[in-house]
Structure 1
Amino acid sequence: MKTFIKKALSVALIGVFLLTPISEVLACTGVIVGKKVSADGNPMIGRTEDWSSAYNKTVIATPAKTYKKGDMYKDVYGFTYPMPEKTYATVTVPDGYQDDGDIFEATGWNENGVTMTATVTATANDKALAADPLTDHGLYESSVVSVVLPRIKTAREGVDVLADIMNTKGLQEGAIVVIADQKEIWYMELLTGHQYVAIKYPEDTYSVFPNCFMLGKVDVKDTENVVASKNLINLAKQNGFLVEEDGLIHVQKTYAEPLASGNRDRLWGGINFLDPDKKIPYNAESFDLLQKTNKKISIKKLMEFQRTRYEGTDKDANLPKNAKVRPIGTVEQEHAHVIQIKENYPKELGGILWVAMGNAEHSQYVPIFGPITDTIAPYQVPGDQYTPESAYWTMRQVSALSEINRNLYGKYVREYNDLQEKTILKRIDKELDAQLIKAYQTSTDTGRQLATQLSMEYQQKAYDDATLMAKELNTYFLDVSGNPGVNGYPDRKTKPYIPSLLGEER
């Protein structure tokens, strides 16, 4: 990826902050849960953004804007695309370090209640790329949300925008994108220079997708549920790499590269985590994108999914023997998010974007209620250097210290965050859902004002909690890193840190 050199240099500058090891695979893990599989009937999408354990992210609200005819979107990699006359307001999660304007808005809502997560990087196989090479000035993954989200009213419109870009401009890097509204979810694979395919996601399945193309058999003639490039099949057929099953193209077997071990780890671990009864073997020949289950998957389960290191299995990434295992809950998470598309909400509200800054394993998921109009100052701090005024850096510091020794430092940090998340979820169900719906019924402005207020209150609480825990953890770390036998305290290295937020009785 073209951002590799830029980001690697940035990470090198702040490497002294890192207190945890770097894994072999730096990438993302996506997830989708259809409404019939969801515990509360609300479909969900999500992703971990995995690149570096010290790379600043922010949460920014951007108002609607107007443009003149001929105005163009331009990124730092040569991609351009016409701007619409008017864009819609958004709230997104961009990089805090935007060297040369490389924004990389990872996810967000717009004022029409449309949400998306982009992108999970993926690579096509050599034959496919030779037949349809990536383009020099096509769409690059860091621009996907910035180009698409501000201009669409529905999820399907988002697919059409990406299809137009692929047809006219092409692609610089393979990727997987998910776009959703209250009516439907679309899963889209951007495969090669100009080839792509999207499906309307089924309501009765769930999916885990790491950095590899996952689509199986696809009927490109089913235009109600499929959007595909015109040459998707013919290109593969003419160049001798088309794989068909039951008369349909098998996209994964046609376009995907061989399954890497880091992707296998996450597919095996993630699919089985969300439904332990699956018991899919690690050495399975392949893993299907669309998974059926009798289980009901909750929003809290997805939060824990993004934290899992396969604890209690033979691939437990916390064990020294599994140092090369790629967990979903990797220490290189910049942030993680889970999005609830709530069908009982007014369309303009859409649902809830839950954001955990830094590594979700020891960070708290904070709710953003639809397209809010502002965020607290600590969520807006730019730059690539640690500062306690930043929500990202403060929460990442807690994670870094917690993961030096998960039992000694991190166990009760995780317990506290778990209690907070459960408390917030309970309050939303019992109180806030009704308040938000009523406020939006009064007027969109009234509803958005309340949504912004509630979101900012939760942001402030999470930042304040992390600030206190960082202070206590630093004190604790400096204490136990010394000689444990000094002054008659031989148990100093066996007594775990317990946040004061849990109360003295804990």
Structure 2
Amino acid sequence: MACTTILVGKDASYDGSTIIARNEDSANGEFCPKRFIVVKPDEQPRHYKSVLSHVEVDLPGEPLQYTAVPNADLKEGIWGEAGVNEANVAMSATETLTTNERVLGADPFVELTPAKGKESEDGYEPEVPGGIGEEDFLTLVLPYVKTAREGVARLGALLEQYGTYEMNGVAFSDVDEIWWLETVGGHHWIAKRVPDEAYVTMPNQLGIDEFDLDDALGNQEEHMCSADLGEFIERNHLDLAVENVTPFNPRDAFGSHSDSDHVYNTPRAWYMQRFLNPYDEQWDGQDADHQPTSDDIPWARQPDRKITIEDVKYVLSSHYQGTPYDPYGKLGDQHSRHMFRPIGINRQSQLSVMQIRPYRPQVNRAVQWIAYGSNPFNTLVPFFPNVDSTPKYLEDTTTRVTSENFYWENRIIAALCDASFADTANAVERYQEKTGGMGHRMVAATDEQIDRLVEGVVDEFDAEDEIGDVQPMEPDEIIEAVRNGEAREVLAAANETMAAQLKEETDKLLDSVLYTTSMNMKNGFHMSDF
């Protein structure tokens, strides 16, 4: 999918949380209705078959419960995309990446080969299944891992065994670490731990620009990779460094620097970092340190200030505000305003922001913030993932257009607001601010309820504490703590309250923007009949 990702290390976030977030954008000309669900262990398949590639995978027998944001229409498979499991491990999959001909020549994609002829006739060639891809990743990995690092290892093993038919980037997080995995060709992969003090921006382009192969093939403290990656690079002459330097640059070796990247990908990284590091360098003009078309925009950097949930939402909703490239702006001209692909685009399906909070008990430390539809016109609100069910307003999406669920209501609002952007902008901004504030209040109030239920866990949180975790536990202990039935009821009730308030405010916004856009219709006439 044509997506955009931001990852925020725990020392770069406003509250010490690890934060991973990604827009799921559908292909051009397509719109993909989404649902927010809980997948219970007895609902998880034990034998999995991909709809797109027909690959079949036997799965372990004891999956964890997890959340997902699957397609409402399963004709192309599940596409679970984003979720948190009972071990408080989050996963976001996937960011479609670019590659180059040298990589594909060395390790081709594993694509479905249809059967030829009829089985009973001479010359028949049976079907050859393809590899695994975005359709499959969350379902195959998230229910079976208890740390972010385990997520990397499991997905890496699956890639080596089954291969993939596309280039993908995948994020994993727990309370301590964020890892980013990038596939390389059909069977190879690299993964790097996000520095605690940094954030990462990822458009649809292979991003890692420094990689320690010795660490990845040795202690794996900050880097991991497929077992034969060193030989693969050397055998296929993929290292493009002029001098024998360390670290190795995967972006040069495995990625792309095409003309289309400079229209579709690099401008998004440029704008996100321009917003989060406004004082670090000169971003605009001919003397800018980085231009929208620069190929060397860093994969990770330390922000000028701590990053909030609202910052994440802003950059993932952006359309180059304050620059000549804003399609809704007044700077530049008609050419510049449509020069680059916006981050907040019309065909956004959903945004999930997974926050793992070290200052909360295990049972309620995970929060999954959700937005549906085109980000400039929607709102991001929190839900607790460690529950037994999700609110119908977010879960009951179908392919039928209706204002009775969050996905379609947001789609309708976006189409109306786009047509009357200036006239509806204030109403949208007030809606976003009000619902965002309601979300933070809901989380705080629910935290207080959990504190009364789980007494003695939360002392005053010290952000400078070396451990920085009010309830450090081994993974199996986390799972046991999260399976607190009474706490789950509290969290589920909070989610329902949030959904009810959200629907009320979204209904009000729909009413407002429908009126405004109706008044701007070209067939209006100011002389009344009476």
Q: TM-score range by the shorter chain?
A: 0.7 to 0.9
Report the CA distance between 1:181 and its aligned residue: 0.8
1:502 equivalent in structure 2: none
**Alignment partner for residue 93 of structure 1, among 55, 66, 69?**
69
SS at 1:218's partner residue? Answer: coil
Q: Which moved more, 1:326-335 or 1:49-58?
A: 49-58
C-alpha distance in structure 1 between counterparts of 2:344 and 2:517, whole Å: 23
1:287 equivalent in structure 2: 297
2:371 equivalent in structure 1: 356
SS at 2:153's partner residue? Answer: helix
C-alpha distance in structure 2 between counterparts of 1:254 and 1:482, whole Å: 54
Answer whether contact 1:39 1:298 (CA < 8 A) is retained: yes
1:22 equivalent in structure 2: none
Tell whether 2:87 aligns with 1:112: yes
Report the CA distance between 1:66 and its aligned residue: 8.1
**Alignment partner for residue 276 of structure 2, among 254, 263, 274?**
274
From the superposition, tell whether residues 328 and 441 of structure 1 become closer, same or farther in structure 2 (CA, over 3 Å). farther
SS at 2:271's partner residue? Answer: helix
SS at 2:78's partner residue? Answer: coil
Give the unaligned 5+ runs of structure 1: 1-25, 490-506
Tell whether 2:479 aligns with 1:473: no
1:231 equivalent in structure 2: 228
From the superposition, tell whether residues 234 and 432 of structure 1 become closer, same or farther in structure 2 (CA, over 3 Å). same
Q: Which moved more, 1:332-341 or 1:49-58?
A: 49-58
2:120 equivalent in structure 1: none
Amino acid at match of 2:506: A
**Alignment partner for residue 203 of structure 1, among 178, 183, 196?**
196
2:383 equivalent in structure 1: 368
Tell whether 2:98 aligns with 1:123: yes
Answer whether contact 1:73 1:83 (CA < 8 A) is retained: yes
- Post-superposition Cα deviations, 1:376-411, rounded to whole Å, max 9, x if no partner, equal 223223432312232210121112111112111233
Answer whether contact 2:373 2:407 (CA < 8 A) is retained: yes
Amino acid at match of 2:17: N
1:60 equivalent in structure 2: 37
Answer whether contact 1:181 1:350 (CA < 8 A) is retained: no
TM-score normalised by the chain length of structure 1: 0.86
C-alpha distance in structure 2 between counterparts of 1:469 and 1:406, whole Å: 14
2:326 equivalent in structure 1: 316
SS at 1:334's partner residue? Answer: strand
Answer whether contact 1:44 1:338 (CA < 8 A) is retained: yes
Q: Which moved more, 1:149-158 or 1:233-242?
A: 233-242
Report the CA distance between 1:236 and its aligned residue: 2.3
Amino acid at match of 1:231: D
Report the CA distance between 1:484 and its aligned residue: 5.0
SS at 2:355's partner residue? Answer: strand
Amino acid at match of 2:356: I
Once the two structures are superposed, the pairs formed by residues 106-185 of structure 1 within 5 Å of their partners are: 106-136=81-111, 137-185=130-178
Report the CA distance between 1:164 and its aligned residue: 0.9
1:5 equivalent in structure 2: none
1:27 equivalent in structure 2: 2
C-alpha distance in structure 1 between counterparts of 2:41 and 2:61, whole Å: 11
C-alpha distance in structure 2 between counterparts of 1:140 and 1:284, whole Å: 29
1:79 equivalent in structure 2: 55
1:436 equivalent in structure 2: 450
From the superposition, tell whether residues 344 and 196 of structure 1 become closer, same or farther in structure 2 (CA, over 3 Å). same
- Post-superposition Cα deviations, 1:256-303, rounded to whole Å, max 9, x if no partner, equal 022502111101111111221233421434111111233211111111
Q: Which moved more, 1:432-441 or 1:184-193?
A: 432-441
Amino acid at match of 2:6: V
Report the CA distance between 1:355 and its aligned residue: 0.5
Report the CA distance between 1:440 and its aligned residue: 4.9
Tell whether 2:18 aligns with 1:43: yes
C-alpha distance in structure 2 between counterparts of 1:318 and 1:475, whole Å: 20
Answer whether contact 2:17 2:355 (CA < 8 A) is retained: yes
Give the unaligned 5+ runs of structure 2: 112-129, 284-289, 457-480
Report the CA distance between 1:427 and its aligned residue: 5.1
From the superposition, tell whether residues 44 and 128 of structure 1 become closer, same or farther in structure 2 (CA, over 3 Å). same
Q: Which moved more, 1:463-472 or 1:359-368?
A: 463-472
In the comparison of the two structures, how many residue pairs are matched?
Answer: 460
1:339 equivalent in structure 2: 354
C-alpha distance in structure 1 between counterparts of 2:507 and 2:32, whole Å: 18
2:253 equivalent in structure 1: 254
SS at 2:301's partner residue? Answer: coil
Report the CA distance between 1:483 and its aligned residue: 4.7
- Post-superposition Cα deviations, 1:348-370, rounded to whole Å, max 9, x if no partner, equal 43421110111121112121113
C-alpha distance in structure 2 between counterparts of 1:399 and 1:67, whole Å: 34
Report the CA distance between 1:482 and its aligned residue: 4.7
- Post-superposition Cα deviations, 1:435-467, rounded to whole Å, max 9, x if no partner, equal 234435697212221111111211222123223
SS at 2:67's partner residue? Answer: strand
C-alpha distance in structure 1 between counterparts of 2:222 and 2:455, whole Å: 33
Amino acid at match of 1:255: F
C-alpha distance in structure 2 between counterparts of 1:315 and 1:299, whole Å: 25
